[in-house]
Structure 1
Amino acid sequence: MAFERINPAELGKPSGFSHAVVADGGKLVFLAGQTALDVHNKIVGDGVVEQFERALGNLLTSLKAAGGEPAQLCSLTVYIVDMDDYKSHAREIGAVWKRLVGTEYPAMAGIGVSRLWDIEALVEVQGYAVLPRA
C-alpha cells in the first residue's frame, strides 16, 4: 500500500500537516476522539502539551489495536479549548508528534471549541487511518 502526501505549491508550504493524503488500497479505520484520559478515566496532564501527548498516545493505542501504525494516519482533527495556549506551545507539541509519529504528517485540522466532554480536557484528537488489506 502506498501513501502520497500532496502539497500543491499554490497553497503554500504546510507546517505540521499535509494538504492532502492519498492512500492507494487498504482498509479504512475510524479512530474515535481521544482526550488525556488514563486507564481509570481520569484526565491527566496539567497543560496542553502533556494532554496532547496523552491524547495522541491514546489514539495511537487504538490504532495499534486495530492492526495499524502511526505512519498509516491519513487524517487527524485536533479539538482545542484554548487556541492561544495551543499555538504558544506549538514547538513542544510538534516535538511530541515527531517522537510518537515521525516526520510525516496527515491531513490535519485544528478546531477551537468552548469545551470538551470532560471539563478538565484541554485537547482531543480524532482521526482516520488506512491499513493494508490482509
Structure 2
Amino acid sequence: MSLSFVSTPDAPAAVGPYNQAVKAGNLLFVSGSLGINPATGKLVDGGLEAQTKQALKNLKTVIEAGGGAIDKVVKTTVFLADMNDFAAMNAIYAEFFGGHKPSRSAVQVARLPLDGRFEIECIVRCVRVWR
C-alpha cells in the first residue's frame, strides 16, 4: 500500500516538517489542527471558542481535500491547554459533529503550538482508495 500526502491551500500550512494529512489505503490520518486563520497564518482572536470553531473548520477542509467527510471520522484526539475549557469545547464539538459521534480522547497538555488553546487530530475512513 502506498502513501499519498494531502495538502490544500484552503487550510493552514503545516507549522513543522509534516503533512496536513496522509492517506494510506482507505484511511486518512489528519494531523493536528489548530485555530489558525489560513489567510494570515495566525491564531484567530476570541479565545477557546473561536479557536475551536476555526480548528474544526480547518479539519473539515483537510478531510474533504483528502476525499473524506465528517460523517466518516472514526477517531479524534482533542488537546486542550486547560481542561477547565472542556465543557465549552465539548458543546462546540457536539454541534460540529451533529449526530455522528466518533470515538474520542481528550487530554490537557502543557503547551500547544503557537500557544493555542485547542488542537484536534483525527482518523477518517474514506470510500475512495488512493494508490
For the 8 Å contact 2:81–2:110, the answer to whether it is kept is yes
Cα separation, 2, equivalents of 1:90 and 1:43: 16
Cα separation, 2, equivalents of 1:41 and 1:107: 29
Tell me by how many angstroms 1:75 deviates.
Answer: 0.3
Q: CA RMSD in A?
A: 1.7
Paired residue total = 104
Deviation readout 1:75-116 (Å, 9 max, x if unpaired)? 0000000111233x256324xx32x33211101000100110
Q: Which amino acid aligns with 1:77?
A: T
Going from structure 1 to structure 2, the CA distance change for 1:67 and 1:47 (only over 3 Å counts) comes to same
Q: Residue 111 of structure 2 corresponds to which residue in structure 1?
A: 115
Q: TM-score, length-normalised on structure 2?
A: 0.72
Q: Residue 76 of structure 1 corresponds to which residue in structure 2?
A: 76
Cα separation, 1, equivalents of 2:111 and 2:90: 23
Going from structure 1 to structure 2, the CA distance change for 1:102 and 1:92 (only over 3 Å counts) comes to closer
Q: Which amino acid aligns with 1:62?
A: V
- Highest Rg: 1 or 2? 1
Which among 81, 102, 127 is matched to residue 122 of structure 2? 127
Name structure 1 gaps, 5 residues minimum. 1-25
Q: TM-score, length-normalised on structure 1?
A: 0.71
Name structure 2 gaps, 5 residues minimum. 1-24
Q: Secondary structure at the residue paired with 1:118?
A: helix
Q: Percent identity?
A: 28
Q: 1:32-51 alignment to 2 at 5 Å? A: 32-39=31-38, 40-51=40-51
Cα separation, 2, equivalents of 1:110 and 1:67: 26
Q: Which runs of 4+ in 1 moved over 3 A?
A: none
For the 8 Å contact 2:48–2:89, the answer to whether it is kept is no
Q: Secondary structure at the residue paired with 2:74?
A: strand
